[in-house]
Copies of this chain bind each other. A is one copy, B any other.
Amino acid sequence: MTLYKAPLDDQRFALFDVLGAEAILTRLQGGSEHTRDLLDAVLEEAGKLSEQVLAPTNGPGDAEGCHYDKATQTVTTPKGFKEAFNAFAEGGWAGLTAKEKFGGQALPGVIGTATTELIQSGNLAWSLYPLLSEGACHAMELHGTEEQQNNYMKPIVEGRWTGTMCLTEPQAGSDLGLLKTRAEPNADGSYAITGTKIFISAGEHDLAENIVHLVLARLPDAPAGSRGISMFIVPKFKLNADGSLGARNGAAAGAIEHKMGIHACSTCVMNFDGAEGYLIGKPHKGLAAMFTMMNAARLSVGVQGLALAERAWQNSLNYARERLQGRALSGAKFPDKVADNLLVQPDVRRMLLTQRAFVEGSRALLLYTALQTDIESRSGDEAERKQAGELVAFMIPIAKGVVTELAQECTKEALQVYGGHGFIAENGMEQFVRDARIITLYEGTTGIQAADLLGRKILQLQGVGFKHFLEEISAFCKQHAADDALRTLIGPLAIATKQWGDLTLKLAQRVQANPEELGAAAVDYLWFSGYVTLAYFWARSVAAAEASTQSAAFKQAKRDTAAFYFARILPRTLMHQAAIEAGVATLPAID
């Protein structure tokens, strides 16, 4: 059984002190009501939902897992999941950021991201049911007809149904161009969808009345490869003319996967057997449509890394405080007790500070990115919208790729603090490690994120988002050059940022000479980018803390963690730089 307390203080600090979210959100279109008071109240409620309803289901849900019944091809979720889903739906959380015309509350995306962190900390496996729904809604909002939106999206926003994204097939994962699922036109304008999809999160379950699958498939006249993919709406239950649930469609779960983690998430093999589907968007443009949702999905997976790391960190800190074992190197700190606690050990503090630096730094990074999505979609100024969009495109692979990888390290260190007790299931720490292992894989592996960052965002798009970000850091450094509290941070940040720029230019030249250099450098470049980005958010956090009305202890903790980050983590850029410079020559062919 693990603890969880919603980290509202640090969320508010990141949102309002570091990012100045209130000033930005209230000036955006439709944002006049998005005051700090309102947003605070939303966070407060999400915190309660997470702490009281979701968090207690996390360990038991993992132990129980989902149940698949072969005869009926149905899935039963663990005890308490349906009640939690009802509470979620009744609280209006399913439509938190959806537009009002679809029944949503139209709250800013950045608040959606902050509440998603809380919900995912509560129970990651459970959170995937509504998360996938969000992606499906997003697709229907952007590409669906009004009728499709009314029929298939609104019930999801209302929390009555859920949605899925059906992309992967056994032979087609990172390379969706290989997919084979077919869509044959029916006489009535619908399509008969036939094929097998795998790894479909929330593909079948008992939480909602209906499930809306968004399925990628090929029309009969489709060109080969990724340019011949179309998207279809395939509901579990077809709709009668009046919108009520009709006959069962030919889309069913053939099995659920046994996985390393997120046991309570129903990960399905979905069999489409001439299932009735409806084309959404243009023929052969399904992959492009899918990519329009990719940013939101990838940002959410980055948030999963934060959510798991936050909860793991809370528990390891608590354990280090409570566990009495050994004595401080310089002599007993608690001589009246049988032993000192683990906190007296500098190496334990190293593990805790590593987690804290990554958790709080990642939070600022993710909320920053989410805030840019709000600016992108709702600023009244076209130039600002464009710039924010470019920043978002640039930040997403860092937010997804780096934060999910850092979550591996954080959950590992959190477990390590427990010693052998960390390996025991009932203590709950090993679940965080197992659950975290999926997030560097789905929604594009780390290698895919790295290739997106370096290949697409830097090279193809000529680093337009990168330039905005460098200018922002540069302006920040200038602004705080004489700031005493940031004296030890601004210098190293400026140097690291300059190295980042130089390295990028050099790399661009190398890749031009040999495209294989892209793959040889990409992941190390992603890491380099991530560590400099976090350094920036740590420096900003210290500046914001100093300027805030936070307590002296809060300010001190931010200063300490930033100092730790700059001294002990930022130097990791050195090894990534060496690896990047080594180039593809050090990765020779393997037969």
Contacts and interface: CB of A to CB of B under 8 A. Distances in A.
A220 interface: no
Interface stretch (A69-77, A116-124, A326-334, A367-375): A326-334
A349 B587 contact: yes
B590 A564 contact: no
B441 A422 contact: yes
Interface stretch (A280-288, A538-546, A573-581): A573-581
Interface stretch (A7-15, A147-155, A184-192, A337-345): A337-345
Number of copies of this chain in the oligomer?
A: 2
A168 interface: yes
A419 B174 contact: yes
A337 to B, nearest CB: 11
Interface size class of A (residues with CB under 8 A): 35 or more
Interface in A58-112: none
Interface stretch (A44-52, A157-165, A429-437, A467-475): A429-437
Given A347-B450, A441-B420, A579-B568, A516 B329 contact: yes
A588 interface: yes
Nearest to A198: B420
Nearest to A556: B588
Contacts of A324: 171, 178
For chain A, what secondary structure do more than half of its interface residues adopt (helix, strand, loop), or is it mixed? helix
A3 interface: no
A274 interface: no
A419 B445 contact: yes
A422 B175 CA distance: 16
Interface string A3-23: 000000000000000000000
A442 B416 contact: no
17 contacts: A175-B325, A178-B324, A178-B338, A258-B425, A259-B425, A259-B430, A260-B433, A329-B518, A329-B519, A346-B516, A346-B517, A346-B587, A348-B447, A353-B590, A420-B438, A560-B588, A563-B586
Interface of A: 168, 171-175, 178, 199, 257-261, 317, 320, 324-326, 328-330, 338-339, 343, 345-350, 352-353, 408, 412, 415-416, 419-426, 430, 433-434, 437-438, 440-442, 445-447, 450-451, 514-520, 522-523, 560, 563-564, 567-568, 571-572, 574-575, 578-579, 582, 584, 586-591
Q: Which 5 A-B pairs have the closest CB atoms?
A: A571-B578, A346-B519, A260-B430, A567-B582, A346-B520
